[in-house]
Amino acid sequence: MRNFALMFLGLAMAVSLVTRASADANLRMIIAFDERFPGWQLWAEAFRDNVKAASGGGIKVTLNGPAVVSPFQQFAPVSQGAFDLSINIPPYYMGTTAVSNTFYAMDPDMDKLRSTGVWDFIDKDFGKHNQKLIAGFFSAPGCFHIMLKSPLKAGQKPFDGMKIRANRTYTPVIEPLGGSIVTIPGGEIYSALEKGVVDGAAWTVAGTTDLKLHEVAKHMLRPTFGWCGAVMTMNLDAYKKLDAKDREIIVAEARKLEKTGIVAYNKLTDAEDKELRGLGIKEARLSDDVFAKIMQNYRKNMWEVSASFKGSQKAVNDLRALARSKGLAD
């Protein structure tokens, strides 16, 4: 999977225009996932290499993964300036703010979100925490699945009694099916499945074999669902200290990856699905009626999950009203 991802990284670099940064900038990035996750190559490594090329070597980015800071605890260090840049997933911010979690409730069209004012609304929320929203990296629908140790149970609650490793993004799927969510970092999923701490694990299709989940869970939930994604933010003070040209390079190169990354990620998802089938992983397929009921309420439930965090309830409801007025929410 890594070689496949690197091919797209090279393509993204080829379209970068080489300019010269007016002053050297050495930036530290903290990332929620490690090298086993495709986003490390498609987003983090690609961004690092592209800004270096576009700035003529003037902007250097050092990558740090979850071994440095737990993915659940990375938000505050970025706000405080211990790190300049971050790539993380919004559900991990929900102990502080849930506004960006609403990305999962709307079509992942970043241009449309910017033109309608939704992006600025989310950016202002990050600003309250001394962060600047730089880019959103999202896939097309259908990139999530759940690896299971046993087949689905019969009936409308096929997860009845099951403990599923997941984050809040998966709530609209797992809880209606009768399961309960257990929050475990990605690096600990294999062990949790192996030891029976959980009965299944929600993860992106792409990257499943990198974590070797197919060794300890022999069934995969189908159909797939939802869109994967992460956001890139920057410490607001660090962003303001950069000169205009450096800021322009950082934003431009990150947003190029919004385009190239979604194409690459979708291809990785398709390739991984074929690989898992080749490894003998069996489908655990939801009935058409059960899946239809879940998807009918998926976006609504995602808004409600975001609004359930009391610290962001008003902001999420205000954002939903804005999104609804622009045809982006029900």
CATH of the domain at 19: 3.40.190.170
Whether residues 71 and 218 fall in one domain = no
Q: What is the pLDDT of residue 11?
A: 47
The residue whose two tokens read 């960006």 is 100
pLDDT tens digits along 286-305: 999 999 888 878 888 899 99
Angle between helix 313-325 and 118-127 (nearest 10) = 160
3-class DSSP assignment, residue 107: coil
Residue 326 lies in a domain: no
CATH code for the domain of 282 = 3.40.190.10
Q: DSSP letter at 74? A: -
Q: Which domain holds residue 237?
A: 2-141+227-268
Q: Could you give the CA distance from residue 145 to residue 39 in angstroms, rounded to a whole number?
A: 17
pLDDT tens digits along 90-100: 999 998 999 99
Whether residues 62 and 151 fall in one domain = no
pTM surpassing 0.75?
Answer: yes
219 touches 199 (CB < 8 A): no
Strand spans (E) along 171-271: 180-182, 200-204, 219-222, 229-235
- Ordered DSSP codes for 155-176: SS-TTTT-EEE--GGGHHHHTT
Residue 132 lies in a domain: yes
pLDDT tens digits along 204-241: 999 999 999 999 999 999 999 988 889 999 999 999 99
Whether residues 181 and 297 fall in one domain = yes
Q: Cis before residue 91, ω within 30 degrees of 0?
A: no
Tokens matching residue 43:
């987003």
Amino acid at 148: L
* Between residues 183 and 38, the one the model is more confident about: 183
